Amino acid sequence: MNRKDFLNNLGIGAAFALTATCLGGCSKEEDEAFTPTPSTGIDFTLDLNATENAPLATDGGYVVRNKIVVARTLTGDYVAATQQCSHEGNLAVQLRNDEWYCTVHGARYTLAGDGLNQFGSNGLTTYKTALNGTDLRVFS
């Protein structure tokens, strides 16, 4: 086998190996690792009567769904923001005293996502909410 034949055979084998790896890697695990961003088009609905959403019946309560924190403010309004802190990317944002708060480094954000301290200076992605009966829609 000469050099040209070897490289041609290597190229075909490498292409097959890369294709097989890609097809084998496209699995549900990638979907579970989904991290929402403003460009991904967030849109889901929570049933407020469902047991897993019971914290939303109380002012100050929150749940995490799809890496999004959905909360009920102290005045009874519903708000939503990414669970991923903009400071270092930790999935640690929650609602605390009507502010978004990261439990890792103490980043603080307004309900609109504006930073309130040096750790929150990059802001936080927030989402819209709409209540229709007992269905709470969260969307971008």
* Domain match, 76 and 17 both: no
pLDDT (0 to 100) of residue 8: 59
* Domain match, 23 and 47 both: no
pLDDT (0 to 100) of residue 14: 45
pLDDT (0 to 100) of residue 41: 85
DSSP line for 8-54: HHHHHHHHHHHHHHHHHH-SHHHHHT----GGG--EEEEETTSGGGG
pLDDT digits (tens, 9 = 90+) for 116-134: 999 999 999 999 999 999 9
Q: Structural domain tally of the chain?
A: 2
Contacts of 66-69 spanning 24+ positions with Cβ under 8 A? 66/34, 66/36, 66/42, 67/34, 67/35, 67/36, 67/91, 68/36, 68/42, 68/127, 68/138, 69/93, 69/94, 69/95, 69/100
* Domain match, 70 and 86 both: yes
Residue 9, domain extent: 3-32
Task: State the CATH number of the domain containing residue 119.
Answer: 2.102.10.10
- DSSP-derived 3-state class of residue 76: coil
Please tell me the pTM assigned to this model: 0.72
pLDDT digits (tens, 9 = 90+) for 83-95: 999 999 999 999 9
* Domain match, 91 and 23 both: no
Average pLDDT score over residue span 87-113: 96
pLDDT digits (tens, 9 = 90+) for 15-70: 444 434 333 433 333 334 445 555 568 999 999 999 999 999 999 999 999 999 99
Average pLDDT score over residue span 99-110: 97
pLDDT (0 to 100) of residue 20: 40
